[in-house]
Structure 1
Amino acid sequence: MNNIDVTVMEKPAGYSRARMEKIVKEYQVVAKEINKDRKNSLSSQTIMFNLSESFSNPKRVPGVKIKGNPIPYILSLKKTTTSGLMMSSGYGGGTANMEYMTLTGLATANFSSTMQTPFSQLVPGLARNWTFNKLFNYAVSVHPYQGIFYSRITAYAKFGFNRFYYLGSKYKITDQKRIKNNPFLSDETAYTNALRQLKNDESGTFINLVTIQNHMPYMTTDYKNYSKWLPTSVSEGTDKGTVATYTTGLTYTDKAVKQFIKQINKIQKPITVVFYGDHLPGIYNNSMAKDGTKLHETDYFIYSNTYAREHGARTLTSNTKVVSPNDFMAMVAEQTNSKVTPYLALMTKVYEDLPAVSINTGQNNSTASLQFTNSKGQVVKYSQLTKKQKRLWQDYKLVQYDLTAGKQYLYQLHMMK
């Protein structure tokens, strides 16, 4: 029903070709300034965005107490590389929307309420879709599950991916393994298939990896050793067995990530990986009014392998504590010391100068509202933004409108290259 009458986005005040020309010129200057100190090119890097299904540390959820540390490797890695919390625009769902934000840099919070899934409602109908992977010579997507959900087959083709590996595709998912009775293919399987691409493809490759292992439902029959992670307390109405099963899955993710990082450090080309949880699992019965921000915080890190660090990659220390999915492309460019386009210059300013933007959804995504969250995890009202921040946010909305619902002047004005 939502597809019958879809308004993509409200037209921001002042939208015109002249205004877009002004924006392009401004961010051409910003890009030139940023690039003075950048030595590398993104097209010479190998970049992987790794969406880890439902990954988020359960020990951060108010009321949940678990003995021990289910993700010791990932937490230790977060201490030594670019990392923090990502504000998700979903709870218990919305995977493809997080993907959309990472690949386009556009915030779903700016779309109208009828635009619930850009992958299926927006992308197929647009003549041109700009995505981060278009800055690379070659791009593949790997998802060890069915490819039809969220219209991924169509969306990835429109995005310009050269190959999409999924169950049933002509490009095979190999080394298929499941853990105990978990019906989904393991994260080990996902990383094995991604690693093959990383080893075989030349530098200048972009990989979009979407895992499936920790997808709902979380049945206590999935893992034999789930009882080890039974929480000592949970919020009222939250099932301890479900939390324990979910947490057990995270322990296997932690081991798979450790092995994967070990393998990419052996490869003699610059590889940078953005690892992020897309949303929390919808298993916590906490009050969204009280704990809504906490229930939208997932974990992320950006790791550059040994070779990349030896050739200019660095760990970011500013503006990393709380970010949005749409910040990742600017962060990767900065971490790899890569030059930016005018569009990435805008994304860099959004990342550096604005609080993290997200949609705060209710249980089952029943309600949605725009939310800004600062580096301390505190909600910031739009009225609290400075005049400079409000102007930047307006520029960003104008650019998003032009690319998705407007005349796409930015392609003619060469902002996207």
Structure 2
Amino acid sequence: MIVFLILLFVFNGTLLITGRWFLYKQKDKFSTIFLKSIQWLMNGIFLIVNSELLLSTMYPNTYHPVIFEIGVSNFILTLIIQIPFYLLIYGFLGFYIGNALLTVLTFILGVSNYVKFTLQGLPLFIWDFLSSKMVTDVLFNMVLKEQLLITILSLILLTAMIWGLKKLFYSWHFPTENWKLRGTLAAIGCISMVFFFFNFEQIYSKFNIQAAEYNKPIQKSYQENGFVLSFLGNSNQHGMVMPANYSKETVAEAVTEIKNKMDAINKPKVELIKEQRPNIIFILSEAFWDPTTIKEAEWTQDPIPTIHGLMETSGGYLFSPEFGGSTANVEWNVLTGFSSNFTIDGYIQYNRTTQLKQAPSIVEPLKSQGYQAIALHDYQKEYYYRTEVYKKFGFSEFISETEMTHHDTNNIGTYISDASIFKEAVELIDKKGKDNPMLLHMITMQNHYPYTSNSKFGQIDYVKNKEALVDGDQFNLYINGLADTDKAVKELLTSLEKVKRPTYVVFYGDHLPSLNNEFYEHATFNTNQNQVVAKHETSYFVWKNDGEKLEVPSEVISPNYIAGDIMERSGLHQTIFQQYTTYVQNKIPAFNKRVYLDKKGNSKKLTNDEEELLDRYYLIQYDMMYGEQYSSKIFEVES
């Protein structure tokens, strides 16, 4: 696919130079109208080729024109929608510079979409580009070295072409005689873009296009409609579809039903004295997953013996809503008790959280009971808008890599090691956790992609038959990182055993790693679940520093239940909403948009009562995230 994209890219560059050469050489032989017609024909070819480049990235194994995949009407609409943008660019920059710029931007966008789709199974979204840090991740960190090299070489090639064009035939100064035409083109393009922006829902409805739908994989929408239509269509999408019955009255009715049910089944809790209130430590372990579930792999030794033991005694699997990326969504599930399984695929809910008047989370209920709340992340603060989001949630402090004392890495050029962030955590608890209990929310980075350098984690052959596996070297390299995490977890828990205050640790992986797509295509999971479910099951455990044997309610858990579970487990006062999530957990231990799991992790069908539970859950979540927040009272701890 990368080679195909490069061929389209080079085709446009060649067309640009040869077209200019032809028009330059023939300017005295043909009429102006004829030459202008040739020029606009070339513009149309540029538009079609660039569209094919973008559309083809959603079909990595397809080698025929994408018009056969998305249909003639969608392909024509794709061209029509892009024309205003092209006119605007031509108006400001002219034909040659404009097409050169459009070709470069299209190629970068196409390669980025292809790489993200092959690594994470998700296409690019407009919100991937709302933060400069996320642009860096999408355009560079996500592109493996080989593909980045190809991209750079291609850009150098086009630059050389344009430079040659400049030297031989063309002055880059804007010709004054074209200003009227170019001004007209720019005005038409601008007006058309404004018209489309305010009317695209009606246009899409006319063509029967759904950019995103709840309970439908976003990948399917992109493949049915094409990249361009879905990418633009999602720019005005909410992260949730409004319930048909949403109103102040229906929310009030749901709140009353939830409150009455919780009052009937929950007994009043005994107030804990301050010294009894436990520290709560959340550890989101980047891309941590149990690799021994791969059926084809043979092992020289257990790479994660400590975590395996904890999973067996007081943990199991986290049924993650994500695969290969979108860490912030899993984090959002854990902190808020809301579920990504009610949202549009791929939408980062932190984008919406920054706009909320009240952003519910576990933080405020804990702070009302004397807790201090600190977030610790060994990477950049700006990523996923965490600085703004954590303020909204009520965290009193956010410590990133800049403020950390320990910065050791596994090797030069990699992310900060888990051992370093765990040392930072222990020192924080020793320094700030003596007088008041602490919520410490950690997000690690050690095992983040890419997994392409043999020196990233050192190289122990945990996988005996790595040569027999597709991308076995990459898989084994990634496992070296997991083994380092396992050792660091063991050291952390040993240190926490010395802390006098009761301390809970909740450890979970956010998603499976972004290994090459070929690895997952050839691998099978040695679990009792189908392969789709298994690709969303990460490692999870709960631990307490006093040696108490902890029981977990099920072998698999959804991340949105963690906050309510730890509040109840700690003997703390829950909000009514947290009580409700715990109640739903007992009925539906884990779920995603299409699969519901029982306590053993087996698929189950919902009863009518269970469907009503999720309908209320959905309604309340929509109200607080995208509605009028009529239900805000059930997110407060009752005095």
**What is the TM-score normalised by the length of structure 1?**
0.86
Aligned match of 1:363:
none
Aligned match of 2:537:
297
Deviation at 1:305, TM superposition (A): 1.6
Rounded to whole Å, the distance in 1 between the matches of 2:383 and 2:298 is 34
Aligned match of 1:197:
428
Rounded to whole Å, the distance in 2 between the matches of 1:410 and 1:334 is 21
Contact 1:70/1:247 (8 A) holds in 2: yes
Counterparts of 1:16-415 in structure 2, within 5 Å, are: 16-33=247-264, 35-36=266-267, 38-39=269-270, 44-80=277-313, 82-113=314-345, 116-120=347-351, 122-137=352-367, 138-168=372-402, 172-181=403-412, 183-199=414-430, 200-201=432-433, 202-223=435-456, 225-232=458-465, 238-283=470-515, 285-287=519-521, 291-306=531-546, 309=548, 315-318=550-553, 320-358=554-592, 370-380=594-604, 384-411=605-632, 413-415=633-635
Rounded to whole Å, the distance in 2 between the matches of 1:339 and 1:253 is 33
Q: Aligned AA for 1:274? A: V
Q: Aligned AA for 1:394? A: D
Instruction: Call closer, same or farther: CA 1:295–1:223 in 2, change over 3 Å.
Output: same
Rounded to whole Å, the distance in 1 between the matches of 2:358 and 2:602 is 37
Greater CA radius of gyration, 1 or 2?
2
Deviation at 1:235, TM superposition (A): 8.3
**Bigger mean CA offset, 369-378 vs 97-106:** 369-378
Instruction: Call closer, same or farther: CA 1:54–1:409 in 2, change over 3 Å.
Output: same
Rounded to whole Å, the distance in 1 between the matches of 2:578 and 2:602 is 26
Contact 1:181/1:221 (8 A) holds in 2: no
Rounded to whole Å, the distance in 2 between the matches of 1:322 and 1:329 is 15
Q: Aligned AA for 1:2? A: I
Q: Aligned AA for 1:329? A: A
Contact 1:62/1:291 (8 A) holds in 2: no
Contact 2:298/2:463 (8 A) holds in 1: no
Identity of aligned residues (%): 27
Counterpart check, 1:2 vs 2:160 = no
Rounded to whole Å, the distance in 2 between the matches of 1:226 and 1:220 is 10
Q: What secondary structure sits across from 2:442 in the alignment?
A: strand
Q: What secondary structure sits across from 2:562 in the alignment?
A: helix
Q: Aligned AA for 1:197? A: L
Q: Aligned AA for 2:607? A: T
Rounded to whole Å, the distance in 2 between the matches of 1:257 and 1:67 is 21
Rounded to whole Å, the distance in 2 between the matches of 1:42 and 1:416 is 20
Rounded to whole Å, the distance in 1 between the matches of 2:249 and 2:385 is 35
Q: What secondary structure sits across from 1:106 in the alignment?
A: coil
Q: Aligned AA for 1:316? A: E
Q: What secondary structure sits across from 2:335 in the alignment?
A: helix
Q: Aligned AA for 2:126? A: N
Rounded to whole Å, the distance in 1 between the matches of 2:467 and 2:512 is 15
RCO higher in 1 or 2 (8 Å CA, sep ≥ 6)? 1
Q: Mind listing any 5+ residue stretches in structure 1 that lack a counterpart? A: 359-368
Instruction: Call closer, same or farther: CA 1:214–1:327 in 2, change over 3 Å.
Output: same
Render the CA deviation track for 1:385-413: whole Å, top value 9, x for unaligned: 101101101110011111111110112x4
Q: What secondary structure sits across from 2:249 in the alignment?
A: helix
Q: Mind listing any 5+ residue stretches in structure 2 that lack a counterpart? A: 1-124, 128-234, 525-529
Rounded to whole Å, the distance in 1 between the matches of 2:278 and 2:303 is 32
Contact 1:231/1:240 (8 A) holds in 2: no
Q: What secondary structure sits across from 2:311 in the alignment?
A: helix
Contact 1:42/1:204 (8 A) holds in 2: no
Render the CA deviation track for 1:27-84: whole Å, top value 9, x for unaligned: 333443554274455983321111001111111124333331001111122333x201
Instruction: Call closer, same or farther: CA 1:324–1:353 in 2, change over 3 Å.
Output: same
Q: Aligned AA for 1:148? A: E
Rounded to whole Å, the distance in 2 between the matches of 1:71 and 1:133 is 31
Aligned match of 1:361:
none
Q: Aligned AA for 2:388? A: T
Render the CA deviation track for 1:349-389: whole Å, top value 9, x for unaligned: 1211114123xxxxxxxxxx543233343344xxx210110
**What is the TM-score normalised by the length of structure 2?**
0.57
| RMSD between aligned residues | 2.5
Instruction: Call closer, same or farther: CA 1:336–1:47 in 2, change over 3 Å.
Output: same
Rounded to whole Å, the distance in 2 between the matches of 1:79 and 1:274 is 14
**Bigger mean CA offset, 157-166 vs 176-185:** 176-185
**Bigger mean CA offset, 390-399 vs 275-284:** 275-284
**Bigger mean CA offset, 181-190 vs 122-131:** 181-190
Render the CA deviation track for 1:92-115: whole Å, top value 9, x for unaligned: 1111110000011111121134x6
Contact 1:144/1:185 (8 A) holds in 2: yes
Q: Aligned AA for 2:531? A: D
Rounded to whole Å, the distance in 2 between the matches of 1:271 and 1:13 is 44
Rounded to whole Å, the distance in 2 between the matches of 1:325 and 1:68 is 30
Render the CA deviation track for 1:304-327: whole Å, top value 9, x for unaligned: 2218x4xxxx62243x20111101
The number of residue pairs the alignment matches comes to 390
Which structure features the higher share of helix residues?
2
Render the CA deviation track for 1:181-233: whole Å, top value 9, x for unaligned: 46111101111111122222243321110001111111342257524223415
**Bigger mean CA offset, 221-230 vs 259-268:** 221-230
Aligned match of 1:416:
636
Deviation at 1:414, TM superposition (A): 4.4
The runs of at least 4 aligned residues of structure 1 exceeding 6 Å deviation read: none
Deviation at 1:151, TM superposition (A): 1.4
Q: What secondary structure sits across from 2:388 in the alignment?
A: helix
Q: What secondary structure sits across from 1:51 in the alignment?
A: strand
Rounded to whole Å, the distance in 1 between the matches of 2:416 and 2:599 is 35
Q: What secondary structure sits across from 2:490 in the alignment?
A: helix
